């Protein structure tokens, strides 16, 4: 089965982000707005049980933190993906780093860039138009992060939560 580890922003932030995603993100219906801590990986039931224990330890050692979003950016020319950039926060980087070591599969394709995708798989012209328009918007979002989620992909490609891990509150 295919799994991933993500942070979902709060509902008000998700609603605001979905206003963009509905129009520009082909994966809108497959997963809510999220920040990917660990990209998709394959694992069997035994491996997932082992990783869940590790995720509980990580959650217990992590304190909630605040993030802010005030910029639209793009991964072009690598991909025509447009995203909201989360201002770098050490705890966020540390979380992502922990999920690339130890018992976790080493599958990191790109360097960790804290972001929430709002548009992807656009043609060159679409990308140019949408990015030009969105980067002029005044975006000021703040959120408190207090948990992350192990998600898995269903047969219809929709991602759903397998288990959530609240910072400082997991029993191992």
Catalytic residues: 34, 115
Measured CA to CA, the distance from residue 130 to residue 127 in angstroms comes to 5
Q: In what order do the strands lie in the sheet with 65-74?
A: 115-119, 82-86, 65-74, 141-145
Q: What's the angle, vertex CA 165, arms to CA 118 and CA 67, rounded to 5?
A: 45
Q: What tokens does 80 get?
A: 């025509």
Q: Are 118 and 17 in contact (CB under 8 A)?
A: yes
């Amino acid at each position: 089965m295919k799994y991933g580890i993500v942070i979902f922003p709060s509902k008000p932030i998700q609603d605001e982000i979905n206003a963009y995603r509905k129009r520009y993100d082909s994966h809108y219906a497959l997963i809510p707005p999220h920040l990917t801590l660990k990209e998709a990986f394959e694992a069997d039931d035994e491996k997932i049980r082992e990783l869940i224990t590790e995720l509980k330890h990580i959650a217990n050692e992590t304190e909630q933190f605040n993030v802010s979003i005030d910029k639209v950016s793009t991964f072009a020319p690598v991909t025509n993906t447009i995203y909201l950039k989360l201002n770098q926060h050490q705890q966020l980087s540390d979380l992502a780093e922990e999920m690339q070591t130890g018992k976790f599969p080493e599958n990191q394709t790109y360097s960790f860039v804290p972001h929430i995708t709002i548009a992807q798989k656009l043609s060159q012209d679409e990308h140019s138009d949408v990015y030009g328009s969105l980067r002029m918007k005044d975006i000021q979002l703040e959120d408190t992060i207090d948990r992350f989620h192990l998600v898995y992909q269903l047969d219809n490609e929709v991602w759903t939560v397998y288990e959530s891990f609240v910072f400082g509150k997991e029993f191992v």
